[in-house]
Amino acid sequence: MIYQHLINNADKHGLLYRPEIVPALTSRSSWARAIRSGVLTLDYPNVARLTSSSRTIHQRIKAAHLACGRDSLIAGPTAAWLHGVSLPEPDDLHVLTKNRLMNAHRYNLVLHRPVQLALIDRTLHDDIPATSPRRTLFDVAAWSPRFLHRTFEHYLTNGDLTVRSTWRSLFEITRQGRPGISRVRNMLNQWSLDTEQPESVLEAKMLSLCFQAGFPPFEFQAQIGPYRVDFLWRAQMAIVECDGFAYHGSTRDAFERDRFRDAYLQSLGFTVWRFSFRQLTFQQREVRMRLQSVFRCDV
């Protein structure tokens, strides 16, 4: 068959990307004839599909990715759908790209142009490059907030994210001024305490308090000598430990172990603050005021 070389080089979705086919495998005229004869159907200016291939939503999403360039990424609610989040089948397709596509709206494409596309975390789903769950969550918060809770629940259930890791991500990107930050923060503040083990929940609550109080940057789970501490401010020589009763307060051995640990850290010049579940849950104002005395020169 005259166009067999085109059929053989289509990807798993039955798609061909013109810049990689012409002139490497065929001529411009052969490409055009294949379209006129009905062997190929042109979906975008540079993307065609085998007319005989099955038409699927995955094929449409992959074609949108190719149309925006190989370095583009499927993003936002479209990426969440690819990840398996229970969302309506996408109509508008969200793509992160540094390129421009004429009349993108006619193809139901929503294009976003990030500052540093190459640095964005990515995953591969069914041979389609998409943003990572972490990035996807914040994009959903900015562009499709009605799907935010559903998306977060899916990532929690699948183990892609945790409450604690999402708080940490919030701290990492908050200074970039990204939209959707406040929505993610409000969602985390409302999240059930039953989503993680007690110590992790306490750490998430402490992260929330630090974020809202505007405390200086800190190191999380930092190593000091033989000990790993929950929150460390080196410049202020301050340490905060979150004490869950099950681990820290249930036995005298645990109590004495913590006192020995504190004595070691204090011998190095650190001030150690310990806050309990009750304090971080019901006495956040008092906790905040105590820590602001440490950070009064920076806050």
Burial 249-274 (b: 16+ CB within 10 A, else e): eeeeeeeeebeebbeebeeeebebbe
Give residue 174's pLDDT.
Answer: 66
Of the residues 55, 80, 98, the one at which a domain ends: 55
Residues 231 and 275 in one domain: yes
Neighbours of 69 (CB within 10 A): 16
Give residue 118's pLDDT.
Answer: 75
Q: Report how far residue 95's alpha carbon sits from residue 131's, in angstroms, rounded to the nearest whole number.
A: 10
In a domain, 49, yes or no: yes
Give residue 250's pLDDT.
Answer: 45
Give residue 245's pLDDT.
Answer: 44
List Cβ neighbours of 210 (8 Å cut-off, separation of 6 or more): 171, 218, 231
The burial of 278, by beta-carbon neighbours within 10 Å (0-12 exposed, 13-18 middle, 19 or more buried), is given as exposed
List Cβ neighbours of 172 (8 Å cut-off, separation of 6 or more): none
Residue with the two structure tokens 């990840």: 83
Under 8 Å between Cβ of 90 and 77: yes
Give residue 191's pLDDT.
Answer: 63
In a domain, 62, yes or no: no
State CA 10 to chain mean position distance: 31
Establish whether the linkage from the previous residue to 23 is cis, with ω within 30° of 0: yes
Q: Which domain holds residue 123?
A: 70-190
The segments of the chain whose pLDDT lies below 70 read 1-2, 174-177, 190-202, 244-255, 296-299
Give residue 195's pLDDT.
Answer: 41
Residues 200 and 267 in one domain: yes
In a domain, 60, yes or no: no
Residues 21 and 81 in one domain: no
Give residue 31's pLDDT.
Answer: 86
Residue with the two structure tokens 């080196």: 234
Give residue 175's pLDDT.
Answer: 60
In a domain, 282, yes or no: yes
Give residue 220's pLDDT.
Answer: 81
Give residue 7's pLDDT.
Answer: 81
Residues 150 and 210 in one domain: no
Residues 185 and 200 in one domain: no
Residues 186 and 101 in one domain: yes
Residue type, 122: R
In a domain, 299, yes or no: no
Output the domain CATH number for residue 242.
3.40.960.10
Q: What is the pTM of this model?
A: 0.66
Of the residues 190, 218, 236, the one at which a domain ends: 190
